[in-house]
Amino acid sequence: MTKLQTFDLTPFYRSAIGVDRLFDRIVNQIDHASQHNYPPYNIVETGENTYEVQIAVAGFAQGEVEITVKDGELIITGEKTSNLPEGHVYRHQGISARKFIRTFSLGDHVEVKDAESRDGILTVKLERIVPESAKPKAIAINYVS
């Protein structure tokens, strides 16, 4: 059990509206991440509103890794489909290429902009694009006499 599960979130619920799903997602992400550490990954902030998720995908060929965005989550899956040529047998297989699913919760207005795989690293580029309607705005006060 993670420490977050034993932490009382009641004070947050009293002063925030609609965050119950957010807290549930955070707890689920922590639980899932603590159970799975393959493949290794980095999350890099590349600018004020830009990020990269870098995942080690050495051994996976084109078409064996898939990226999906669904319900505010970035889901990256990988599954090897190719086998060794006939007559070849592994005597030792130290390069892991097992099936995986990596899920990342995306913040509001975060969009996937690009993805590329180079030198065994899959890089997914993300950007937070806040629409004008969601940006803070000053409200004029009309003084009447």
Residues 63 and 124 in one domain: yes
Domain membership of residue 51 (yes or no) is: yes
Residues 57 and 104 in one domain: yes
Contact 76, 122 (CB under 8 A): yes
Amino acid in the structure at residue 59: G
Greater confidence (16 vs 52) lies with: 52
Residues 93 and 68 in one domain: yes
CA distance 53 to 121: 10
Write out pLDDT tens, residues 53-107: 999 998 898 999 999 999 889 999 999 876 778 888 888 877 777 899 999 989 8
According to the model, what pLDDT value does residue 29 have?
61
Average pLDDT over residues 17-30: 63
pLDDT at 23 over 70: no
The CB-side HSE value for 37 (13 A sphere, CA atoms) comes to 1
Nearest to 47 by CA among 110, 105, 127: 127
Give the chain's domain count. Answer: 2
Greater confidence (140 vs 19) lies with: 140
Domain that holds residue 43: 38-133
State both tokens at 79: 């599954």
According to the model, what pLDDT value does residue 17 have?
63
Read off the pLDDT band of 1 (50, 70, 90): very low
Cross-strand partners of 44: 52
Residues 102 and 118 in one domain: yes
pLDDT at 9 over 90: no
Cross-strand partners of 12: none
According to the model, what pLDDT value does residue 128 have?
92
Average pLDDT over residues 105-120: 93
According to the model, what pLDDT value does residue 37 have?
80
pLDDT at 122 over 70: yes
Residues 63 and 16 in one domain: no
CA distance 21 to 75: 18
Greater confidence (11 vs 33) lies with: 11
For residues 20-43, one letter each, b for 16 or more C-beta atoms within 10 angstroms of the residue's C-beta and e for the rest, the string is: eeeeeeeeeeeeeeeeeeebebee
Q: Tell me the CATH number at 43.
A: 2.60.40.790
Domain membership of residue 2 (yes or no) is: yes
Nearest to 56 by CA among 124, 110, 5, 9: 124
Residues 23 and 94 in one domain: no
Residues 4 and 31 in one domain: yes
CA distance 74 to 52: 12
Domain membership of residue 55 (yes or no) is: yes
**pTM of the entire predicted model:** 0.68
Residues 15 and 50 in one domain: no
